[in-house]
Structure 1
């Protein structure tokens, strides 16, 4: 029986024979480079449009102010005319007694914010991670203060801190403890601002820590339990090493954020606070620019802060690359 031939749908047409001695036809000429680029641009017009919009926004609202600040730091503006003064603005800033006080207050706020705002979200994330049910509601509850407008949160804490009818002093009176002037006492004003700032901003950090904790293999905790490790030892020998990189990144981010604090002391204590106890570097920049109309000194102080924070940003970028690798 003869073998079945190919079906009409699969049979290939015979290849035409080229006469011997004739040259092969030249390959088709490549399309012009401009035409290929135009086709690619048409295909990605929407993507390029979004990219151009983002670049324009960054150029107008981020890059241009940074470049403008650099030039303003070496200029003095009077009657709308700018003149070059060299390093005079830096000399003015460095010889201002409020300069060193602002840096001390900023460093104090950073240290207190790290003790509370860095440790408390991590502990809260560990507690939430131990729950087997209701984690979604707990995450919403923790993140709720972040969704509130800062002014509303500040008004809430102003009510809590009020020396006359504040809730904290009512609790102290019920417990037979001496009442405190939370925002009027120079020794308590910065701590009060840190507590308010921690409550307002801890939600995002808590969710990041919680996501990192849920990525730790459960076998590590089971092995630690078999070795007789308690809760604290499991946290120290399993949780912390497994989240070391994310803890380092969050630490750097929090240092950068806390050294730029402005909203909380400005709204709670008016900025300076009692005896200048809550005057921060960014608030001093605000005073130079809008209270003293000295834009050159404000730009010079902002440039000094930019240089300092650039070092922390470089470390953050290096750690981010190590995490990606």
Structure 2
């Protein structure tokens, strides 16, 4: 939605519209038996006629000229985000909704991500299916389709079957329970994920016992750290710019000899971006920035007679 704050702003504004013009309106609030929203997508159960529903949306589109509502309704089934709600035997059921244009976009098992991230994806997706699909027979069919999609993305058959069996033994009610988070304070080691990350983790874990030999450190760090990884730059990050409308200002770097302002040599230093040897008067441009502290340089010492002594040193010029 553009800027990082855009979803929060949109959510706040839609909450205001919902409460001010719908929930506090006596004509419409009794018609809505259910109303849920995710930012600007709404799902509701309407207790009224089709004409009244169309009249309701006509009313909503007169609130502000900057926001226009579109609607879709059905008396048998309807989609909301990734959920399809349908009527079966006079009872509402839910299942996974996928668009006809959707493709298998699961992360490849060979993708450069931490091992735990790759292994957790099948579990999270099977849990998602368990939460959304209300009918057991439907869940079995969709779970088999999900298994095929994981196999196509080169996931281990053992990993898939293990997570599928774990979720199958979990009831839908249990799957919907909020996860209890561990609030204990942990030391977190944060780094950018790289080819060396696994080796770093193994070395720290293996040698953690050395810290425990010190009583103070053992008290401060009783357990090894939790390893967390920041996202590494991808090919997309290198090729695409988030802001193409503004050019970054480039700093002008002076090329030539300047003083370091921190030694006695500065008083005798010939400053400038070119030198002129006396034997031919040709001007030689200097293409790098050098000071008295610069090492690995070709230097010239001007004699009172007008000639230059040219030398080479790997040390700093002032030494």
Same fold (TM over 0.5): no
Structure having greater relative contact order (Cα 8 Å, sep ≥ 6): 1
- In terms of Rg, which structure is larger? 2
**TM-score, normalization: structure 2?**
0.20
TM-score by length of 1: 0.19
* Structure with the higher strand share, 1 or 2: 2
Structure with the largest fraction of helix: 1
